[in-house]
Structure 1
Amino acid sequence: MSRRQALAAGASALAAGAATLSVAAVATAHAVAPTDLQPYASYWYPDTLPPGTPPPGVRRRSLRTWTAAGDPDLPFNRAAVPLAPRFAPPPPNSTARRDEARISALAAFAPTSGNPSQGAATADYYALTHWAYLDELVFWGGSSDEGLILAPNAPVVDAAHRNGVPVLGTVFLPPTAYGGRLEWTRDLVRRDADGGFPLADKLIEVARAYGFDGWFLNAETGGGDARLGADMRDFVAYLRRLGGTGLRVTWYDAMAISGDIAWQNELNDRNSPFFRAADTMFLNFNWSRTGLASSGELARSLGRSPYELWAGIDVEANGWDTRVDWDAVVPAGRPHIASYGFYRPEWTWKSLPGTDRAPAAFHARDDRFWSGASLDPTRPDPGPWRAPAVCVADRSTLTSLPFATTFNTGHGLGWYERGVRGQGDTPWNHLGLQDRLPGRRWVIHTAGARPAVGFDFADAWRGGSSLLTDLIDAATAEPTTVELYASRLPLSPATVAELAHRTDPGSAAVRVELAVALDEPDRFTCLPVGTLPAGGSGWTTVTLRLASLLHGRAAATAHVLGIRLTAPDGGSVRWRLGELALHDGPPAPPGPPDTPAVIATARNPDGTAALRLSWRPTPRRAGPVRHYELHQVVPGGRPRFLGGTCGHAYYVPALRRTADEAVTRIEVRAVDELYIASAPASVTYRW
């Protein structure tokens, strides 16, 4: 298979993993078949449906007939987190550039069909965390047997938006070799009586209703003519113009203006009409040095930036062993030529053996992919893999208080609250619950041995993970500073920091300090947090006043947040950070959600119940709500965590009855940015 066929084959192959559950849904409260309740990420054909019986678990739908009012799964798929503004701090090395190349990524989180709207009961998931290097994420997929137009599910969008990354849905018109039909392309660009494009209007409506940021257009079905090429160009221009500044359009280099499929691997006269109509273009994978150079020159002559061109890099098969002519795209010592786009960076997850796809193993590989083999952006790896941290400046959204993180990656082997794992909790994933995580993995200052730092899932303060630092055989008492966050956080005499930390059994003693860089990013002032004794200890919470950092000033800015660790007696230290929060005094708890209700139910064969719930946000809340959490009240026991969401509807797949209770009560709480929960709003289910 040629590299230019990778997009088509990769999307079509997703159909093979389709789940066997129906995606039909109900919106009224009555008992139905269990398979009717599970909401899934949405996918459509433009209009005409393929003949024959769909594969198991696939529901074929037309976008032309879709309406928001008639979409019962929309409340479960609607993203709720706004796109955060972000900034580029000074790069950690001399090779990364702030105003040049950026990165797009086409990532498949799940098959096209059978992709749950709100996570699932498994930690085996592509929990992307390296948002700092991304300029846009494409929710990739689609197949001729299932559907061609994919709307990203809410957890992915909410996590990306929290980190300032826009997310695009996919419009995939496959080659005829993979089941493509030219009538689907003609359906997409069909005009109405006024010359407009009804399906472009639908794409805009879907993006706004679902809360994502635009569309990746991939037209690869052959057989077109010049009229079709002109209609497609006008369609792209209409979509971009009518969508306004809040909607992005990326065009994939496949269809030429002549209407036929002719991958150019560069920007030229055959595809530049689409580039002029779109915001950016993803160039096919077989680009060359001279082709990229001429592409940049043509982009500038059109009044556009060369960094609006993504040079495609296919990493699906070989990941960091992929051979790339990096100097053709991001040459060292000279201005970058273009931006670049990764095709299928979830290789770091998918290429793990099925028996070893543990979360910690995945994150270790993902850190290497994005940061390089050195695992330190300040020390770029000289090997053939030019990791993003080597050449692209990271970005941050930490610009205001309150800020808090529990180093929750959006999946875990159990759910923890205040260091206690819930009884009977199972593995889970839900990217919408992911925290803002350190963008630079890992910048470490020490005169001693470099420690191992990473996310760990054996214990947590809240969520599913904590930050584990291994100072192995620290023979001397040399301090080690781990940079965590680049920021522009405003500090005042009222600002306090809160930490939750612990050591594992068998650890040596460790002295812990909060490291803050104010005026210069590489000069830290350290505040003592405390010393944890040898032998390991349970979670300890500490509150620090930061007024001493200001030296009498009324305000200052924290540019870097970090931790300094010292093993005063030497030995091996295993230290965990479970929470880090900064605020100017805790706000009042948020108000509870309004009128939660069970809107649909079903009994499962194992005796559990499937529920759809919804609620309205209350106007009485004291501040912004980060997300909502649901707990089952267990008579005589701790509440059972059911899940969480940033939206206002949630699906519970298997509510377990406690003893012979006739009624089960579920509590819904609003949770703010400091993880302060509201009073509960209750709803009941009668068995």
Structure 2
Amino acid sequence: MNPTRRTVLIAATATATAGLAPSPPSAAASRAAAATPPYASYWYPDSLPAGSPGPGITWRALKNWRAADDPDLACNAASVPLASRFTPTPANPTARSGQARIQALVSFGPTSANPSQGSATADYYALTHWAYLDELVFWGGSAGEGLILAPNAPVVDAAHRHGVPVLGNVFLPPVAYGGQLQWTRDLVQKDATGHYPLAARLVAVAAAYGFDGWFVNAETGGGNTALGTAVLGFMKELKAIAAARGQRVTWYDAMTVNGTVSWQGALNSQNQPFFQAADDMFVDFRWSAGTLASSGTKAQQLGRGRYELWAGVDVESNGSGSSVDWDAIVPAGKPHVTSVGLYRPEWTRNHLPPDRRAPGDFHAADDRFWTGRSLDPSRPDASDPWRAPAVFVADRSTVTSVPFASVFNTGHGLRWYEEGAVTSDVPWNHLGLQDRLPSRRWVVRTAGERPAVSLDFADAWRGGSSVLVAGELDQPAVLDLYATRLPIGVNTVVDLACRSEPGDVNVELAVATAEPGTAGAAPPYTYLSATAGVRVNSVNGWQRVTVPLTGLSGTVHALGVRLTATAGPVRWRLGGLAVRPAGTPTAPAAPSGARVTAANGGDLRLAWNAAPGTVRHYTLHRLLPDGTRRFLGATGQRSYHLAGLRPEPGESAARFELRAVGELYNASTPVTVTHPW
């Protein structure tokens, strides 16, 4: 990869300065460290740099890692297994399935300071367009921090919920950015039996943390054929061990078979053995239409698929304004040539000025990137020079079982809401709390003026966001929400939580029990009146309505809403949707063994035993002396760090309530934890 693209990763390279190695921490320091915030794990293969690490950086060797000795494992282990997904009839005639796939290399934060459980800011790359992705690489690593980066649990949980595998990153940097050839030798060292112990260690880390494999990027120059041979042997063993555990390995086009670094921009004799020793290969940005065509042909001649090659597309600097020879990769009207590897799509956040990084600003840029200029995947703009993924790749869905629920939580917000009430006014992010979100944002079908549709953060039913539909609505408008494969029982119902502000609107639930006849066609919806449904209640201005699927049978293939204005412009919010059997849902069982495991003033580490059964996540509240509750955080893991707590007036001990939250957002009875001040 071009050194000029290292703008984020190399910042910590210069932190390694000459000096004595740090002395062992004192016992008091060790106790305090146990109450420090957990971060995503990162390592060197074996030997560490000379000197001392910079502030906030911990140098550690992967060779010494053991799951049993990992103090942050409970915070870093993913809680959501990789979901299976299906491909509905495409939203437009140019979107295809079974051809080009999309990989994204994303840096969610610094290598050494990437929180394991989110943080108190809404300014975060909250990726939501998972429906177009086939593989996510948790990009990072630097010579001054660590070279091997494991994905944090929130990212893995969000990706897995949408059926996307996540790879950790092994980055051996160019010499110009602090890379040392010794680190490559460390990675591929053999033991007395002739095996590669760090290959097994990488697979063990991925298994313990619950992610899906590794992206190997060897860019340190100066090697020779012997080193190239050793790296190839390492890759073969890594793939074999990984495959046995259901994990994947992707190779980056940099090191060649003779051990030197020479980016080929193609699959050829210089990197073919590495491609054959991996599941996929990221083709460096130096590709051309000719080299991609020959690479695809060569992959097929090797008995592999041409879509196992990711053609690198660098969007770090210009995002959806990048100039790309799309016809060399995904030509219109012809079979796709290779797959697409998007380098750093978090441009959609990073390019925004600090005063325009509110969640709404970010999602507007992100929708433009993934959906295209039309902002409607059913109506792609053929004149748009940016060929958005929605234009050429069919979306996928994981909504296949009942009960299913969504409160349209994006994984970040300006406040936290529970049943329409604000229970915390602190901005936050935690991608692991993200719902399965509508994949086709936003398909609106109307004969009149198209309303604006967005994920909005000014109000929510639960979590931090809701769907806002705003406009004149001079004609009825149908908003597609979910492509599904949900079985309909004799008593299946759909719950909606919605509100209108200020115009009146008639709401109908749109349900399709079959696929549309052709790509781009509307689902064959049946419309069921929400006003004729059983109104559950009105809470904090939100109407909760239950609509029975009376007269329908088989399988729900699509869900949406039809809105008809009855008075004035419409600002209508959808805060929740659930598909479930009729009756009162059974609350989940409570977790057990809740305890404070470490304390340092107002910084606490809590842990608990998992609640039996299916749990969406756990919530933590503080019970205040006046009897009110304050939301502190939520996580899918079984450990949580609380920072900066202080006693309330007259309070001798802090009281916390822990609950398990089920798929339908119903909560268990609380488990109380007390911590004396």
2:619 partner SS: strand
Q: Write the letter of the residue equivalent to 2:662.
A: D
CA distance in 2, matches of 1:209, 1:236: 20
Aligned to 1:193: 192
Q: Retained in 2: the 8 A contact 1:163–1:397?
A: yes
Q: Retained in 1: the 8 A contact 2:34–2:598?
A: no
Aligned to 1:388: 389
CA distance in 2, matches of 1:562, 1:77: 36
Q: Retained in 1: the 8 A contact 2:412–2:464?
A: yes
Change in 2 beyond 3 A, CA 1:537/1:207: closer
Q: Retained in 1: the 8 A contact 2:658–2:670?
A: yes
1:161 partner SS: helix
CA distance in 2, matches of 1:346, 1:15: 22
Residues 593-608 of structure 1 mapped to structure 2, 5 A cutoff = 593-603=591-601
Q: Retained in 1: the 8 A contact 2:413–2:427?
A: yes
Say yes or no: does 1:564 pair with 2:562. Answer: yes
Say yes or no: does 1:490 pair with 2:487. Answer: yes
Q: Retained in 1: the 8 A contact 2:611–2:660?
A: no
Q: CA deviation at 1:520?
A: 3.4
Q: Write the letter of the residue equivalent to 2:506.
A: R
1:99 partner SS: coil
Q: Retained in 2: the 8 A contact 1:509–1:531?
A: no
CA distance in 1, matches of 2:131, 2:532: 32
Deviations 1:174-220 (A, max 9, x none): 00000000000000001111111011111011101111000000000
Q: CA deviation at 1:244?
A: 2.1
Q: Retained in 1: the 8 A contact 2:35–2:598?
A: no
Q: Write the letter of the residue equivalent to 1:251.
A: W
Q: Write the letter of the residue equivalent to 1:453.
A: V
Q: CA deviation at 1:599?
A: 0.2
Q: 1:574 aligns with which of 567, 571, 574?
A: 571
Aligned to 1:72: 71
Change in 2 beyond 3 A, CA 1:502/1:366: same
Say yes or no: does 1:162 pair with 2:152. Answer: no
Deviates more, 1:519-528 or 1:189-198: 519-528
Backbone CA RMSD of aligned residues: 2.1
1:567 partner SS: strand
Deviations 1:327-368 (A, max 9, x none): 000000111000011000000000010111000110111011
Q: Write the letter of the residue equivalent to 2:513.
A: L
Aligned to 2:215: 216
CA distance in 2, matches of 1:377, 1:233: 42
Deviations 1:363-414 (A, max 9, x none): 1110110000100111112211000000011110011111000000000011
Q: Retained in 1: the 8 A contact 2:171–2:216?
A: yes
1:654 partner SS: coil
Q: Retained in 2: the 8 A contact 1:268–1:295?
A: yes
1:530 partner SS: coil
CA distance in 2, matches of 1:173, 1:312: 18
Say yes or no: does 1:584 pair with 2:581. Answer: yes
2:381 partner SS: coil
Say yes or no: does 1:626 pair with 2:584. Answer: no
CA distance in 2, matches of 1:635, 1:25: 42
CA distance in 2, matches of 1:25, 1:154: 29
Aligned to 2:348: 348
Aligned to 1:368: 368
Q: CA deviation at 1:655?
A: 2.5
CA distance in 2, matches of 1:101, 1:294: 16
Q: CA deviation at 1:32?
A: 4.4
Q: Retained in 2: the 8 A contact 1:406–1:435?
A: yes
Q: Write the letter of the residue equivalent to 1:495.
A: T
Q: Write the letter of the residue equivalent to 1:518.
A: T
Aligned to 2:536: none
Residues 12-411 of structure 1 mapped to structure 2, 5 A cutoff = 12-13=10-11, 32-33=31-32, 37-245=36-244, 246-382=246-382, 383-411=384-412
Q: 1:545 aligns with which of 532, 539, 548?
A: 548
1:304 partner SS: coil
Q: Retained in 1: the 8 A contact 2:316–2:345?
A: yes
Identity across the alignment (%): 59
Q: Write the letter of the residue equivalent to 1:546.
A: L
CA distance in 1, matches of 2:272, 2:660: 49
CA distance in 1, matches of 2:326, 2:289: 10
Q: Retained in 1: the 8 A contact 2:35–2:605?
A: no
CA distance in 1, matches of 2:123, 2:181: 37
Q: Retained in 2: the 8 A contact 1:499–1:580?
A: yes
Q: Retained in 2: the 8 A contact 1:155–1:430?
A: yes
Aligned to 1:656: 646
1:328 partner SS: helix
Q: Write the letter of the residue equivalent to 1:419.
A: G
Q: Write the letter of the residue equivalent to 2:526.
A: T
1:559 partner SS: strand
CA distance in 2, matches of 1:537, 1:509: 17
Q: Write the letter of the residue equivalent to 2:672.
A: S
1:64 partner SS: helix
Aligned to 2:497: 500
Deviates more, 1:247-256 or 1:235-244: 235-244
CA distance in 2, matches of 1:305, 1:600: 51
Q: CA deviation at 1:34?
A: 7.1
Q: Retained in 2: the 8 A contact 1:104–1:137?
A: yes
2:287 partner SS: coil
CA distance in 2, matches of 1:618, 1:312: 43
Aligned to 2:606: 613
Residues 431-450 of structure 1 mapped to structure 2, 5 A cutoff = 431-450=431-450
Q: Write the letter of the residue equivalent to 1:510.
A: V
Deviations 1:442-500 (A, max 9, x none): 111000111110111110000000110112x33x3x11000011111111221011111
CA distance in 2, matches of 1:237, 1:381: 44
Aligned to 1:415: 416
Aligned to 2:669: 679
Deviates more, 1:236-245 or 1:252-261: 236-245
Deviations 1:610-633 (A, max 9, x none): 1101111134xxx41111111111
Q: Write the letter of the residue equivalent to 1:617.
A: A
CA distance in 1, matches of 2:380, 2:12: 35
Q: Retained in 2: the 8 A contact 1:403–1:582?
A: yes
Deviations 1:262-301 (A, max 9, x none): 1000000110100000000000011111100110111001
Q: CA deviation at 1:35?
A: 8.8
TM-score w.r.t. the length of structure 2 is 0.94
2:643 partner SS: strand
Deviations 1:403-455 (A, max 9, x none): 00000000001100000001x53000000001010111111100011111011
CA distance in 2, matches of 1:479, 1:148: 55
CA distance in 1, matches of 2:367, 2:531: 30
CA distance in 1, matches of 2:394, 2:156: 22
Say yes or no: does 1:640 pair with 2:630. Answer: yes
Q: 1:516 aligns with which of 491, 494, 511?
A: 511
CA distance in 1, matches of 2:658, 2:585: 20
CA distance in 1, matches of 2:468, 2:646: 34
Q: Retained in 2: the 8 A contact 1:375–1:442?
A: yes
CA distance in 1, matches of 2:526, 2:338: 39
Q: Retained in 1: the 8 A contact 2:618–2:661?
A: yes
TM-score w.r.t. the length of structure 1 is 0.93
Q: CA deviation at 1:634?
A: 1.2
CA distance in 2, matches of 1:602, 1:31: 11
Instruction: Count residues with an aligned counterpart.
Output: 656
1:243 partner SS: helix
